[in-house]
Chain A
Amino acid sequence: MEVLGKPLVRKEDAALLSGRGRYADDIAEPKRTLQAHVIRSPHAHAMIGRIDARAALEIPGVVAVITGEDIAKISDPFLVAVKADVPQWSLAVERVRYVGEPVALVLAETRYIAEDAGEAVEIEYQQLPAIIDLRAAREKTSALVHESAKSNEVHTRAFTYGDPDAAFKAAHKIVKMTSEFPRQSFMPMECFVVVSEYRPADDSYEVMANFQGPFSTQPVMARACRVPGTRFRIKTPADSGGSFGIKLSVFPFMVLCGLASKIVGRPVKWVEDRLEHLVAASSGPNRITEVEAAVDKDGRITALKLDQIEDYGAFLRAPMPGPLYRMHGALTGAYAIQNLSVVSRVVMTNKMPSALIRGFGGPQMYLTLERLVQMIAREMGLDHLEVIKRNLIPAGSFPYKTAAGSLFDSGDYPRCVELATGGGRLEALMKRRDDARKSGKYYGIGFAAVVEPAMSNMGYLSTLLSPEAREKAGPKNGAVSLASVRVDALGAVSVTADCVVCGQGHETVLAQIVAEQLGLRIEDITVNLELDTANSDWSIAAGTYSCRFTPGTAVAAHIAAQRIRDKLSRIAAKQLNVLHTDIEFVKGKIRSKSNPDNAMAFGRVAGTAHWSPIMLPDGMDPALRETAVWAPPELTPPSHDDRINTSLTYGFVFDMCGVEIDPVTCEVKVEKYVSMHDAGRLLNPLIAEGQIRGAFVQGLATALYEEFVYDDGGSFLTGTFADYVVPTATELPELELMHIESPSPFTPLGAKGLAEGNCMSTPACIANAIADALGVENVQLPATPARINAMISGEEPARPAHVAPRQGIASAGTGGAKQKDARQIKGSGSVQVSASPEKVWEALLDPENLKSVIPGCHALEVVGPNDYRAEVSLGVGIIRGRFKAQVKLTDLKPNQSGRLGGSISGPLGNSSGTGLLKLVPDGGGTRIDYDYEVAVFGKAAAVGGRMIEGAAQIVISQFFAAFGRKLGGAPEKKSLAKRLGSLWGGKGTTK
């Protein structure tokens, strides 16, 4: 091997280091392109009322405001893999189902104008109860995310392999646990970018986007636009600022911008910003898994029962529910367990839709399985590592058929464990643990063993259908990879392939593969990976996902290069007068092995194929271009008994770590981390290491930092990088990497995927170390200081009602989506006035009076009986500007009580509240008692909720103070001041 397998530096880097990358937003857009701004739902669940765009359309430079109604007229809902009625268009139609859901699209000459106009569009919503908690969503009484689906659990399938019941009956012990995997994303640094153009002449769409595939969604997009696939052309740019699965989810916007272009007759560009990305781009699914293991007296697992409940948020976008089935064949992980029962459930909630994410189902599954193994050790008084070893698939049993049908290609798991724990590594950690514990610190050691699948069998998703339904639909299977190698008339070599650039160094590795075959240097090979569905090699399996590059695209390139090599050697053999088997390719020469002086320059031989077909061997076609299709036979469809080989190659990862937990700050410090990999042959060790290190820090983020947090009402609370904490170099632990190579027998290169392993292993390994350190059973990730604190000293007492919880690392802790009252505040107060209850009542129903007491009110319009719309100017803290307010009086009991409901919306989002008023006669005058609740939605909740709440409280106080003044009673000045003080952290009269 001259070039392949060497740690060569990357071809990509020179441009990227000099600011000459060609990312999606760097490319000049077509002339007359309009810039788009997406108006998004501030509510988790609501009916969309009137959308009034008149004011927006008056702003110079604004061209159109497009709504779901417009979109629904010219497009169809996206196809869904599951048989459930959960239609989704590229804009919300009639109803919004998650905070951040696109509701309307503003098109303008510049992005600044489009955003201004977005603020001027008025949208009315009628709020519905939000379904946020995954468990609650499954209850029979739960409100529905999609009424048409009749249930929030839109898919359930049970599977049995072997005889789990018998194994459970015969078990020495049964160990049970529940694991919960949080919502998060791996957050690429570049957000979504789309430029779409509709061409009326042939009713076609041309879309440039930083889309990563899978291209199985291309037909979904085309169908939505009601055109054949050939008329929905997708181009991807030369560079992309990271994907990690997330850039699948740009696809609804590719359709949206295309439809918008059709409506206005001009190209449309949209660049997502970080707030939009955090709130609504894509999330990994959160999952609850109930698991039980039947264990023999030595700690060997004889059977597993899994109930996997996965939360896909508001919609099921193709190819969901992938994460629930991608690991299906490998559900027993690295262990020899032949009895298995599984229930897989897909549940809808009012959260952002879940989709592809690096690891794709593996992190969820291994957190369960690896925590379970640790629990087994604990409950049986055995050593954790010993239990792992006893259960591992033994060396020498490959290819190994798992219970659910995967065919593990190669490996030596016990050896990996020996190597990683050997060399004094484990001893050093144990010594550290002993020392730390002696000095009163929390210290734990964790392990995780993970089988890492790569290149998914396209048929895996059909496992969700019953065998009968599959029979009817016809078998689905395989994974096609395509690559082309061309040699021009001067001998210059170029490569194209069916992967999408996301930063993994594919250009370099493809050059290595081809250079290796042709005896050239990587500098001699030009690789172009700008995919264009109108003229590139691609199939529905194309794209960059599920580690398909190494076992897939790379192999196709290898085969194409071999064919070119074969053709060139036959041409050269004829001219050099030797047998073609005597030909070798060395350093730019094609020569006779037996007589190296008998040689021709590579370019000369190549030239023959172009210039002199007459000199070619008989029957050979001129020109030099080979397109190889690689479709490994191991990827068969699901069998009648539901066994499925979900992937082609299966690598192995064994991790070990030591963590110290500070008893005061409750911070988890990963002191030492060892990660052992067997990914078959490494094509470029430098790039391989980069992939592993990157995945490791993402796994670390899952374990300790990153989480999308919603409150009970569905407001999204982590809308900035200050709230959604991405680790930086400062959080980086010491990481030692090790490798062995067990080449895969199922691919000619012997290489397996390796870029997702640590996303799967690291969260589990760290969770196990935390469990070991604290001696706890339940480790909820991310293990933020607040959660660690709860593990050490029990749940915190409930917060006093008037104190808003803080966000960020220190608080995501109280339990993610279960967080109580996170953006809702309650309070009460009273005002004494000299007027009688009758007078007060009259004043309350009098719009003119209301106008004069609503703080900052310019105009009050009566829209119905006791129903008003007002325009107000506010200036409280950062909350400044003109807001629209709605005020409505209901539950009226004349002269006694009533309910005052209101909402304001403005530049930062919406806030709504209700207050119950009671009029109590009091010595000739009246005491007005009031209770109120305020909730904050949308952007405001995500980025500045605390400020908005404070402002809302002040406004309420001002309202009652003014109301009281108006009716002749002096407000309690002291109390008001105190009340104001309390909003900013002090203690006041709000109870």
Chain B
Amino acid sequence: MRRVAKDTKARVTLTLNGKKTTGEAESRTLLTDFLRHEIGMTGTHVGCEHGVCGCCTVLIDGVAARACLTLAQAADGRSVETVESLTGLDGKLNPLQEALRDHHALQCGFCTPGILMSFTDFLKRVPDPTVEQVKDVLGGHICRCTGYQGLIDAMMDGAKRLRS
């Protein structure tokens, strides 16, 4: 394990959305703050900073994780994917994103990046989920706007679109 003295900054190098990226972080810097303020990737949102809301979910080595509960130093040498990885420079949405749009599964959109990343991971592992499974994964996120039904429908439909 890497040791970083208190009050000093150390270099963190990670593969961010497929690109090698380097920045500086203190031992206590959260991955959310590192991504948003050090690197300037603001797609990952912060809703509670205590691991409940799910807004900050990213993929670390392909697995969904709460960036607000992860220290930037702990991501050193890993691969991190954020919501920005889902859309290319042409702005074309992927089938899951399209499903969210079509089912009006977002309003303010603040919870959306985290939910997208959770389901990017989940649908890879469980491509043909039941509604119960979808509700279960969605249960790890708080959305204050949509009332969830659009999200559930979008995930079921998105899974179908991804399968075909």
Give the residues in chain B near A692, CB-CB below 8 Å. Answer: 147
A188 interface hit (Cβ, 8 Å): yes
Stretch at the interface among B59-67, B69-77, B79-87, B121-129: B79-87
- Over the window 186-200 of chain A, the binary record of Cβ atoms lying under 8 Å from chain B Cβ atoms (1 yes, 0 no) is 111111000000000
Determine the chain B residues whose CB is within 8 A of the CB of A239 once the complex forms: 108-109
CB distance A189 to B83 under 8 Å? no
Determine how close the nearest CB of chain A comes to the CB of B138; give it in whole angstroms: 4
**Interchain CB contact under 8 A, A18 and B84:** yes
In whole angstroms, what is the CA distance A660 to B2 when docked? 54
Is A12 close to B, CB under 8 A?
Answer: yes
Q: Is the CB of B93 within 8 A of A18?
A: yes
Whole-angstrom distance between the Cβ of A854 and the nearest chain B Cβ? 28
Could you tell me if B55 and A189 are in contact, using CB atoms closer than 8 angstroms?
A: yes
Asked if A722 is at the interface (CB within 8 A of a chain B CB), the reply is: yes
Query: Does A112 have its Cβ within 8 Å of any Cβ on chain B?
Result: yes
Interface status of B112 (Cβ within 8 A of chain A): yes
Nearest CB of chain A from residue B157's CB, rounded to whole Å = 13
How near does chain A come to B142, taking the closest CB pair, in angstroms?
5
Q: Nearest-CB distance from A991 to chain B (Å)? A: 35
Q: How far is the CB of B112 from chain A (nearest CB, A)?
A: 6
- Give the secondary structure class of A's interface: loop
Chain B min CB distance to A530 (Å): 15
Quick one: closest B residue to A695, CB to CB?
B147
Query: Would you call B57 an interface residue if the criterion is a C-beta within 8 Å of the partner chain's C-beta atoms?
Result: no
| Option from B28, B104, B142, B152 in Cβ contact (under 8 Å) with A721 | B142
Whether A274 lies near B87 (C-beta < 8 A) is: no
| A23 CB contacts on chain B under 8 angstroms | 42, 45, 110
A696 to B143, CA, bound (A): 13
Q: A504 within 8 Å of B by Cβ?
A: yes
Cα separation A638 to B84 with both chains bound (whole Å): 53
Q: Mark B37-50, 1 if CB is under 8 A from A, else 0.
A: 00001111111111
| Any B CB within 8 A of the CB of A26 | yes
Chain A CB within 8 A of B52 CB: yes
Q: Is B106 an interface residue (CB 8 A)?
A: yes
By the criterion CB–CB under 8 Å, are B110 and A190 in contact? yes
A720 close to B108 (CB less than 8 A): no
Docked Cα-Cα span, A505 to B136, in Å, equals 28
Q: Which residue of B lies closest to A21 (CB)?
A: B109
* Residues of B contacting A201 in the complex (Cβ-Cβ under 8 angstroms): none
Q: CB-nearest residue of chain A relative to B86?
A: A18
How far is B126's CA from A967's CA once the two chains are assembled, in angstroms? 69
Q: How far is the CA of A505 from the CA of B107 in the complex (A)?
A: 7
Is A732's beta carbon under 8 Å from chain B?
A: yes
Q: Is the CB of B144 within 8 A of A19?
A: no
Contact present for A242 and B107 (CB under 8 Å): yes
Question: How far does the alpha carbon of A733 sit from the alpha carbon of B12 in the complex, in Å?
Answer: 45
A13 CB within 8 Å of chain B: yes
Whole-angstrom distance between the Cβ of A723 and the nearest chain B Cβ: 10
| A439 close to chain B: CB less than 8 A | no
Known: A241-B110, A729-B152. A9 touches B104 (CB 8 A): yes
Given A189-B53, A693-B146, A16 and B106 touching (CB < 8 A)? Answer: yes
Q: Does B149 contact A (CB under 8 A)?
A: yes
Cross-chain contact A17 with B107 (CB below 8 angstroms): no
A239 to B, closest residue via Cβ: B109
> Hey, what's the 0/1 contact readout for B100-123 against A, CB within 8 Å counting as 1?
111010111111110010000000
CA gap between A721 and B55 in the complex, in Å: 13
Interface size class of B (residues with CB under 8 A): 35 or more
CB neighbours (8 Å) of B111 from chain A are 189
Contact present for B42 and A25 (CB under 8 Å):
yes
- Interface-centre pick from B44, B55, B83, B86 (highest chain A CB count, 10 A): B83
Does B135 lie at the interface of the complex (its beta carbon under 8 Å from any beta carbon of A)? yes
Q: A10-B101, A25-B42 are in contact. Are A721 and B50 (CB under 8 A)?
A: yes
Q: Which residues of B contact A26 (CB under 8 A)?
A: 36, 42
Taking each of B28, B106, B136, which has the highest tally of chain A beta carbons within 10 Å of its own beta carbon?
B106
Nearest CB of A to B66, in Å: 12
Contact A19-B42, Cβ < 8 Å, known A13-B101, A693-B149: yes
Interface digits, A252-264 against B, CB 8 Å rule (1 contact, 0 not)? 0000000000000
Q: Is A158 an interface residue (CB 8 A)?
A: no
Give the residues in chain A near B102, CB-CB below 8 Å: 9
Inter-chain contacts of B148 with A (CB < 8 A): 693, 697, 728-729, 732
8 Å CB interface, A470-489 against B? none
Are the CB atoms of A18 and B91 closer together than 8 Å?
A: yes
Contacts of A735 in B (CB 8 A): 147, 149
Contact B142 A14 (CB under 8 A): no
Nearest Cβ on chain B to A73's Cβ, whole angstroms? 33
- Interface membership of B150, Cβ < 8 A: yes
A425 contacts the other chain (Cβ, under 8 Å)? no
Contact residues of B between 124 and 164, Cβ < 8 Å to A: 134-136, 138-152
Shortest beta-carbon distance from B37 to chain A in Å: 9
Q: Which residues of A contact B109 (CB under 8 A)?
A: 12-13, 16-17, 21, 239, 241, 503
Asked whether A686 is an interface residue with its Cβ less than 8 Å from the other chain, the reply is: yes
Per the bound structure, the CA–CA distance linking A12 and B52 in Å amounts to 26
- The verdict on A689 contacting chain B, using a C-beta distance below 8 Å, is yes
Query: Which residue among B102, B142, B144 has the maximum number of chain A CB atoms within 10 Å of its CB?
Result: B144
Name the residue in B43, B87, B110, B141 with the highest tally of chain A Cβ atoms < 10 Å from its Cβ. B110
Chain A residue at smallest Cβ distance from B88: A18
- Please, which residues of chain B bring their CB within 8 A of the CB of A720? 48, 50, 52
Contact B116 A17 (CB under 8 A): yes
Q: Are B108 and A274 touching (Cβ within 8 A)?
A: no
Render B11-52 as a binary contact track against A, CB cut-off 8 A, 1 for contact. Answer: 000000000000000101100000010000111111111101
Give CA–CA (A692, B143) in the complex, Å: 14
Q: Are B97 and A726 in contact (CB under 8 A)?
A: no
Contact between A190 and B108 (Cβ–Cβ < 8 Å)?
yes
> Do residues B143 and A189 form an inter-chain contact, with CB atoms below 8 A?
yes
Instruction: State whether A694 touches B107 (Cβ < 8 A).
Output: yes
Bits for A683-725, please: 1 = Cβ < 8 Å to B, else 0. 0001101111111111000000000000000000000111000
Interface centre among A18, A21, A188, A189 (most CB of B within 10 A): A189
Pairwise interchain contact A18-B43, C-beta atoms closer than 8 A: yes
Closest to B109 in A: A16
A353 to chain B, nearest CB (A): 21
Contact A17 B100 (CB under 8 A): yes
- Judge whether A729 and B108 touch: CB under 8 Å: no
A368 contacts the other chain (CB 8 A): no
Report the bound CA distance from A729 to B82 in whole Å. Answer: 23
Of all chain A residues, which has the CB nearest B96? A17
Measured in the bound complex, the distance between the Cα atoms of B49 and A689 in whole Å is: 31
Question: In the complex, what's the smallest C-beta–C-beta distance from A295 to chain B, in angstroms?
Answer: 36
Cβ contact within 8 Å between B84 and A690: no
* Interface flag for A168 (CB, 8 Å): no
List of B residues within 8 angstroms of A721 by Cβ? 48, 50, 52-53, 142
Choose one: B36, B55, B91, B149; the contact of A732 (CB below 8 Å). B149
Do B116 and A189 have beta carbons less than 8 Å apart? no
The answer to whether A20 has its CB under 8 Å from any CB of chain B is: yes
A sample of 7 inter-chain contacts (CB < 8 A) reads A18-B84, A187-B144, A188-B108, A243-B108, A693-B149, A721-B52, A726-B144
Known contacts A244-B144, A503-B145; 6 further A-B pairs (Cβ under 8 A): A14-B101, A17-B93, A189-B45, A239-B108, A505-B107, A690-B104
User: 8 closest pairs, A vs B, by CB?
Assistant: A19-B43, A503-B108, A16-B109, A241-B110, A693-B147, A18-B87, A19-B83, A721-B52
A residues near B (Cβ < 8 Å) are 9-10, 12-14, 16-21, 23, 25-26, 112, 186-191, 239-244, 273-274, 502-505, 686-687, 689-698, 720-722, 726, 728-730, 732, 735
